[in-house]
Structure formats: C-alpha cells, structure tokens
Amino acid sequence: MGVIVIKLGGSLQGGADTALAGAVQEARRRGWPVVLVHGGGPRISKRLRDAGIELPFVNGLRQTTDEAMPHVMAALAECNRDIAETLARRGVPVAALADGEIVVAKDVGRLRTGDVAGVRVDPIQAAVSSGRVPVIAPFGRDAAGQPYNINADHAASHIARALGATRLVFLTDVPGIYRDFEAGDLLLDTTPDELEDLLQAGAFNTGMIPKVNAVLHAVRHGVREVWVVDGRDPEAVQMAALGTSERRARGTRLAVQTEGVTA
C-alpha cells in the first residue's frame, strides 16, 4: 500500500480539524498509511510581530534571519503540538516530529531560509510501522545541526518523494490552483506542462508560486497523484485523500501514470 502525504496549510489550523481527522481515519481504515506535514505561517507572523521583527517575502518565501529563527521554531512546535493533540482527541494515534531532524537542510544564501537537501525517512517509517501518523514540522537542520526555515510545501513535496508516496494532498484556504484567480478560472485536472507554462507566464501570485513548484517537483519525481483542495471542505478533503475519481468540480488534481494504480 502506498503512503498518502497530506500537507496542512498554516492558515487552516483550527479550521480544518473535522475534515482532516475524517480523511485520515478513513484512509487508515482502508489500510493506507498517512503522513502529515504542516505549515505555520500565521502563527510565525504573530510571534515575529510580538517580537518586533519584520521579515520580507521573496517569491513567496519568508526571508528568515538568525534573530527570527528561534521564534519560527517555537511557533512551529506550538502548531505541531496542537495538531497532534487534536488528532489524538479524535482517536488518531500520532507521532509528533517537531525537532527539525526529518528534513536535511541546505544553505541557499538566504540567511536562515533554506531548502531541502534530503529527508531522513527512518523516523517516519518507524512511526508508520507502529501504526501512528507522523506529524512533521517543516524546518530542518544542516549537517552541522544549524536550523533553517523550510517552506512547508517544499518540505511536503520532498517527503512525499522520499517515501515513494502514491498521493500528495495540499490542504489550503482556497479551492485549488486557479488558471486566472480574478476570473475564478479554477484548474481541475491539469498536467505538468500546463502548470509550467502558467508559471512561466506569471499566472500565479507570489503566495501560490511555492505551492506550484512543490506540485511540479512531486509529480516529476515519482508521486503519481497530487491534489490542491480547500481544507475546510470535508467532501473535497475526502475526495483528494482517498483518490475519488468523481470530480464534482472540487480542487485541482494532477495525475501521472495512474492507470491501474490504487493507493
């Protein structure tokens, strides 16, 4: 059975509990392991504001400084704990992985904003083997143990790749990826070439660019199916997490070589 990786957007925390827990429980009932990666943008922003720290965003990525990094880690630890406790209360056994040891980070010349050099899969697989759902915070450490802030979409994409995931689901606060947001032109079934063309044409706002890049990375490295859906919509979340073929105009789906493949 293939692994399902779900990335929960930071803006959804507290607003997608029912949909997320229901999808995770149903996937596990069907025998499909689930791995959860979460963001934490709003809580990070609040902690930084309270500390009087302002950080710019470049191409959708927060430019993190040494001064800001402890606040980032503290905010992500809070998010991780809250999500783990919420799932546990709903009967989902969890393994909270919030120490930054899952993602191997690399310095890309942006202070404490890093990228993914690798993924340590052993702790994830150990949690899954024990019947638990890993809940992973998206920061990493380099070979020297120095922490870096990692975009959660990028982290989820690399984790899905490293695990050989069958399906990667992004839960966000919009119904999917729009071909034209102002016109309400939502992409339903799409292809890597179409997404790449739209990306190069500047069709996406800065906040969506990292997510589109993460989608493209996943499908180009073996993940057969990627969805982007509104995490507040229980039907959309179930549809994406369980790979339902009936579309009903909910969310963006990119599938590659899925004929005859099940989770």
Burial of 245 (0-12, 13-18, 19+ CB in 10 A): exposed
Asked whether residue 171 carries a pLDDT value surpassing 70, the answer given is: yes
Q: What pTM was computed for the model? A: 0.93
Per-residue pLDDT band for 8 (boundaries 50, 70, 90) equals very high
The average confidence (pLDDT) of the chain is 90
| pLDDT (mean) for 16-45 | 91
pLDDT in tens, 215-233: 999 999 999 999 999 998 9
Output 193 or 207, whichever has higher pLDDT: 193
Neighbours of 82 (CB within 10 A): 17
**Domains of the chain by residue range:** 4-255
What dihedral angle (degrees, nearest 10) is formed by the CA atoms of 255, 92, 133, 247? 0
| pLDDT (mean) for 183-196 | 91
Q: What is the CATH number of domain 4-255?
A: 3.40.1160.10
| pLDDT (mean) for 194-221 | 92
Asked whether residue 206 carries a pLDDT value surpassing 80, the answer given is: no
Beta strands in 72-123 (DSSP E): 94-97, 103-110, 113-119
The dihedral sign for the CA sequence 61, 62, 65, 66:
negative
Output 208 or 117, whichever has higher pLDDT: 117
Contact 138, 156 (CB under 8 A): yes
| pLDDT (mean) for 152-179 | 95
